[in-house]
Amino acid sequence: MAARSLLPLRRFNRLLTNTHVGAVPIFQGKCYGTKSENTSGYSFDMSEELRALRDMARKFSREEILPVAAEHDRTGEYPWEIIKKAHGLGLLNTHVPEEYGGLGLGSTESCLITEEIAYSCTGIQTAMEGNGLA
């Protein structure tokens, strides 16, 4: 019975270790998230503006949130000082349209910011994104 329940896992593992399924390459050690070599079709390259936004969120997360995250988790204190700094940088209300005081960013941009902030502390990230949860 236990061997039967592991069968899907074994098939999935075989798929991951296989470099080809039929004639379609699955994984060849190439990073697909960087510069596209294909000039036609979709490109998932980040624009310079998007890269700068991600880098700003990453820097804020590492320098402002990470050093105090454990203390906020331990005490349960609301991170007002971080929220105010993030607001000043434009890292809050990313999904809110510009005419209502937000940045009017799309899902991709908002997700990049959220991922970078959540790296340091998911609790503080949730406090920052609380408006978007409604």
Assess if residue 49 is contained within a domain: no
Give the rounded percent of residues in the chain with a pLDDT score beyond 70.
69
Assess if residue 106 is contained within a domain: yes
Assess if residue 76 is contained within a domain: yes
Assess if residue 126 is contained within a domain: yes
Q: What pLDDT is stored for residue 25 in this prediction?
A: 45
Predicted confidence (pLDDT) per residue in 18-28, tens digit: 544 444 444 44
Q: Residue 80: left (phi > 0), alpha (psi -120 to 50), or beta?
A: alpha
Q: What pLDDT is stored for residue 108 in this prediction?
A: 87
Assess if residue 112 is contained within a domain: yes
Assess if residue 35 is contained within a domain: no
Q: What pLDDT is stored for residue 74 in this prediction?
A: 96
Bigger pLDDT: 121 vs 30 = 121
Q: What pLDDT is stored for residue 30 in this prediction?
A: 42
Rounded Cα distance, 93 and 77, in Å? 22
State mean pLDDT over 65-91.
95
Report in angstroms the alpha-carbon separations of 133 from 18, 22, 126, 130: 40, 43, 9, 5
Q: State yes or no: pLDDT of 31 exceeds 50.
A: no
Bigger pLDDT: 73 vs 130 = 73
State mean pLDDT over 54-58.
95
Q: State yes or no: pLDDT of 80 exceeds 90.
A: yes
Predicted confidence (pLDDT) per residue in 93-105, tens digit: 888 888 988 888 8
Assess if residue 29 is contained within a domain: no
Q: What's the distance, CA 134 to chain centroid?
A: 20
Residue 90 is part of which domain span? Answer: 64-133
Total tally of structural domains belonging to the chain: 1
DSSP 75: H
Assess if residue 122 is contained within a domain: yes
Tokens of 103: 């940045």
Tokens of 31: 């990073």
CATH of the domain at 115: 1.10.540.10
